[in-house]
Amino acid sequence: MSYSCRFSTWEPIYEAILADLGFDRSADETARDIAAEMAHPFDHDRLADLDGATVAVVGAAPSLSAELASFEPASVDAIVAASTAVDVLADHGLSVDLMVTDLDKNVETARELTHDGTPVAAHAHGDNIPTLREWLPQFDPEWMLVTTQAEPRDPIENVGGFTDGDRAAFISDAFGAAELRFLGWNFDDPSVDPLKARKLRWAEQLLYWLEGRRGERFAILDGRRESLADDPSTFSTN
């Protein structure tokens, strides 16, 4: 299963994100093309355990450690975690089925996971081209799914999503998850800078769109839906 064939659905939303945040589509496309030189086609069977599964979509909010105190691993079938959430989970004795990262933090963790046989979805975008050049060759390419937010080009895929966290939810959806549960999320994190705060607004908007497509209600959006758009291509953080 691949989200790549649905880029026509994603593209208007992507264009709205670019316009709202002032990002450059050509830079994303350059990053995609550079990554394509180092990536192999990803075997989707490596994520077959997500199909029909109850998936914990784990964000890297500061609240994660506290939330894990009451988390029951047996309540989910798989864990898909964003960025440094993988390290926090490991500190609590929990492994992941997939790490989702744009390589801006704990890149060594991502590299080691691929060499240990755990898939990593590594995202290429206009701001991380030097990191892509340095680190992607160090990953085990058989366990590396490289993603883009621009138009996909083999072997680079577009699964939807913008931040590591919401992209983890989109990947879980694309690979057939039956139910998504969320922990380690804080859309109002006061510790982030203004740009990150706007990215988090987009993350909640995209999750609102995703829950509608799935016919599911994500508890983390309770009390927040009124400020979000039914059509995310019309959404703006300004």
Beta bridge partners of 6: none
Least confident of 1-5, 131-135, 203-207, 227-231: 1-5
CA separation for the pair 210, 58 (Å, rounded): 16
What predicted TM-score, i.e. pTM, was given to this entire model?
0.96
Tell me the Ramachandran region of residue 191: left when phi exceeds 0, alpha when psi lies from -120 to 50, beta otherwise: alpha
User: Rounded to whole angstroms, how far apart are CA atoms 212 and 196?
Assistant: 24
CB atoms within 10 A of CB 152: 22
Binned at pLDDT 50, 70 and 90, residue 3 comes out as very low
Average pLDDT over residues 100-111: 97
**Residue written as token pair 């083999």:** 154
Strands 179-183 and 120-124, bridge-based pairing: unpaired
Confidence of residue 87 (pLDDT cuts 50, 70, 90): very high
Return the pLDDT at 6: 82
Residue 40 φ then ψ, to 5°: -110, 155
How far apart are alpha carbons 84 and 100 in whole angstroms? 10
Mean pLDDT of 121-143: 98
Neighbours of 103 (CB within 10 A): 22
What is the mean pLDDT of the segment spanning 120-134? 97
Q: Summarize the confidence of residues 99-119 as an average pLDDT.
A: 97
DSSP letter (8 states) at residue 47: G
CB 97 within 8 A of CB 116: no
